[in-house]
Amino acid sequence: MNQHTILDLYRARTPRSAELAATARELLPGGVVHDARLLEPYGIYVARAQGARKWDVDHNEYVDYSGGHGALLLGHNHPAVVAAVRQQLERGTHYGACHELELRWAETIRHLMPAAERVRFTSSGTEATLLALRLARAATGRTKILRFAGHFHGWHDHVASAYGSHFDGSPTPGVLPAVAEQMVVAPPGDVAALEATLAAHDDIAAAIVEPTGASWGQVPLDPEFLFALRRATSARGIVLIFDEVISGFRCGPGGAQGVLDIRPDLTTLAKIVAGGLPGAAVVGRADLMDELDPVAAKARGREKISHHGTFNANPLSAAAGIAALEIIATTDACDRASEFAEQLRNALNDVLAIEKVDWSAYGTFSGFHIFTNPEHLPIRPHEIDAWRYDYKVLKARRPEVITALRLGMLVHGVELFSWPGGPTSMVHTDRDLQQTAEAFQATLKLMKSEGFVG
Ligand SMILES: Cc1ncc(COP(=O)(O)O)c(C=O)c1O
């Protein structure tokens, strides 16, 4: 047997992860707790993390591009976040009552994001998009929601189609057809299709969009489309929801809406907003958010919408979120992460040129995506970022190629997120960049020798 296949090298380095994965298969469906962590034959088990690095149970060290699924713009264990959480831990983790930190957290959000006139905390981004849709339906009295193919908004029933499959909006397993029927799916970035869709439906309560494009810019979106969407939704009384679960406090301290200078009606936030702990929020126009307020709803002759959540604004997440957002407000954290990502994209494209591989590294702000070009299109990174290719092109992949790439990078001490690519942080360094580029080149060579590339 060839001792140097990527798979052999991976297995040789990760015996303890393999053992734990075998146990996991008996305990956890698919052996994982999140679909993005599915990796054949198994993923690494992480023992600790610090800054931009993490270590697995076999003592291998990795440059980390999972970045807490995008939550860790400041890197693992930023001292200010750790101190805030530690201090709060001593004071209690759940009061089952109002507390001052939830006010400071909401104020900090509103200071960074002026469209956040009111804030309702939830525990995850999925809960935030669910609540935003409910708010929009209650406020408008309409039922349908417009969404864009490829865009991800969490895993609840209303948004379970059309981000990775079922692009026609048909229900994924377990989802009621009646729920899926209320979702209208339009192609992203196509103003004519948007106008036609809106003309065909007069019962749309809200449009929800990832403002930087599907999956943190995997399918980049022309800002002109967002301006058109803002105009079209305003004209029809449709609630515009920016899903800034990833882009919030990452594109810039005010999120994508701050950079683009577009004011959505509602915004969903998670990840960075809670400083690396579980936490999320729906924020936006007071009159819409007041559908949650019993007094305001009654004054309008309406029943308020219901919303609970045991861990909403729990004090630990609030403490972490305030600490993280204060750093983002007062430093160049967002710019640093974006500059690193740009340098990294350039370095990866240099490697692709040297190795004569027709892939592309692209992305915007603090993100990078590796397009593995299964159809061998004559593609260049700036053409992707200039919206030349649509979601069907950019989401196409050969799973075995992505798996080989991810395993090969792990073998060389780099963990990519599953896109493949990753969010970057303000603590990634030149050393991380160099190691990533070297790992990429070594992986490509191995992939060539195994026929995955070329
Ligand atoms: C844009 C977007 N919306 C919603 C979600 C769902 O957030 P959560 O995983 O916290 O439920 C995600 C998660 O990655 C996301 O990227």
Tens digits of per-residue pLDDT, 202-243? 999 999 999 999 999 999 999 999 999 999 999 999 999 999
Confidence of residue 381 (pLDDT cuts 50, 70, 90): confident
Can you point out the beta strands (E) in 188-243?
Answer: 204-209, 239-243
Compute the distance from residue 126 Cα to the ligand 1 centre, in Å.
6
Q: Say how many CA atoms lie within 13 Å of 183 toward its Cβ.
A: 32
Q: Could you identify the atom of ligand 1 that is nearest to the CA of residue 270?
A: 10
157 and 43 within one domain: no
Confidence band of 386 (pLDDT split at 50, 70, 90)? confident
Asked whether the predicted pLDDT for residue 3 surpasses 70, the reply is no
Asked if residue 84 and residue 210 are part of one domain, the reply reads yes
Q: Is the model's pLDDT at 30 over the cut of 50?
A: yes
| DSSP conformation letters of 400-446 | HHHHHHHHHHHHTTEE-BTTTEEE--TT--HHHHHHHHHHHHHHHHH
What confidence tens digit (pLDDT) does each residue in 242-260 have? 999 999 999 999 999 999 9
Indicate if 180 and 251 belong to the same structural domain: yes
Q: Do 344 and 373 reside in the same domain of the chain?
A: yes
**Ligand 1 probe mutation, 245, 267, 418, most atoms within 8 A of CB:** 245
If asked whether residues 254 and 295 sit together in one domain, one would say yes
Residue nearest to atom 12 of ligand 1 (CA): 154
Ligand 1 contact, 246 CB (< 6 A):
yes
Residue 454 lies in a domain: no
Ligand 1 atom 3: residue of nearest CA = 153
In a domain, 11, yes or no: yes
User: Which CATH number covers residue 187?
Assistant: 3.40.640.10
Q: Pairing state of beta strands 61-64 and 414-415?
A: parallel
Interval between CA 278 and ligand 1 midpoint (Å): 12
- Is the CB of residue 443 below 6 angstroms from any atom belonging to ligand 1? no
CA dihedral 184, 190, 194, 197 (to 10 degrees): -50
Residue 346 shares a structural domain with residue 412: yes
Distance CA 226, CA 230 (A): 6
Residues 253 and 284 in one domain: yes
Is the predicted pLDDT of residue 178 greater than 90, yes or no? yes
Which of these ranges, 75-79, 254-258, 383-387, has the smallest mean pLDDT? 383-387
> Does pLDDT of 295 surpass 50?
yes
Give the mutation target among 148, 215, 271, 369 for probing the ligand 1 site: most ligand atoms within 8 A of CB. 271
Do 319 and 363 lie in one domain? The reply is no
pTM above 0.85, yes or no: yes
User: Whole-number mean pLDDT of the chain?
Assistant: 96
Q: Which two tokens stand for residue 88?
A: 């709060």
For residue 1, tell me if it sits in a domain: no
Q: How far is CA 421 from CA 303, 344, 360, 362, in A?
A: 45, 11, 11, 9
Phi, psi torsion values for 243, nearest 5 degrees: -85, 95
Which of 246, 267, 366 is the best mutation target for the ligand 1 pocket, counting ligand atoms within 8 Å of the beta carbon and taking the most? 246
Indicate if ligand 1 lies below 6 Å from the C-beta of 125.
Answer: yes
Q: How far is the CA of 154 from the centre of ligand 1 (A)?
A: 5
Domain that holds residue 317: 79-330
Q: What is the pLDDT of residues 302-345, one digit of tens each?
A: 999 999 999 999 999 999 999 999 999 999 999 999 999 999 99
The answer to whether residue 45 scores a pLDDT higher than 80 is yes
Q: Is residue 345 part of a domain?
A: yes
Kindly report the protein residue whose alpha carbon is nearest to atom 9 of ligand 1. 125
Same domain, 89 and 199: yes
CA of 363 to the centre of ligand 1 (A): 18
**141 alpha carbon to ligand 1 midpoint, in Å?**
26
Instruction: Compute the distance from residue 39 Cα to the ligand 1 centre, in Å.
Output: 20
Give the model confidence (pLDDT) of 411-442 as tens digits: 999 999 999 999 999 999 999 999 999 999 99
Give the neighbor-by-neighbor strand order of the sheet with 421-423: 360-362, 367-371, 421-423
Whether 154 lines ligand 1, by a CB cut-off of 6 Å, is yes
Please tell me the distance from the alpha carbon of residue 184 to that of residue 229, in angstroms, as a whole number: 15
**271 CA: nearest ligand 1 atom:** 10
Closest protein CA for atom 5 of ligand 1: 154
Do 280 and 409 belong to one domain?
A: no
Q: Is the CB of 69 under 6 A from ligand 1?
A: yes
315, 330, 345 — which closes off a domain?
330
144 lines ligand 1 (CB under 6 A): no
Task: Please tell me if the CB atom of residue 124 comes closer than 6 angstroms to any atom of ligand 1.
Answer: yes
Last residue of a domain, one of 330, 350, 380: 330
Q: What is the pLDDT confidence band of residue 61, given thresholds at 50, 70 and 90?
A: very high
Q: Per the structure, how many domains does the chain have?
A: 2
**pLDDT at site 382:** 85
Q: Ligand 1 pocket test: which of 126, 133, 242 has the largest number of ligand atoms within 8 Å of its C-beta?
A: 126
> Is residue 250 one of the residues assigned to a domain?
yes
Whether pLDDT at 1 is above 50:
no
Asked if 180 and 317 sit in the same domain, the reply is yes
CB 388 within 8 A of CB 337: no
Whether 64 is in the pocket of ligand 1, judged by its Cβ within 6 Å, is no
Residue 431 shares a structural domain with residue 286: no
Does residue 266 contact residue 243 with C-beta atoms inside 8 Å? no
Q: How far apart are CA 212 and CA 221, in angstroms?
A: 6
Residue 70 sits in a domain whose CATH number is 3.90.1150.10
Please report whether residue 415 resides in a domain.
yes
Residue that is last in its domain, among 312, 330, 348: 330
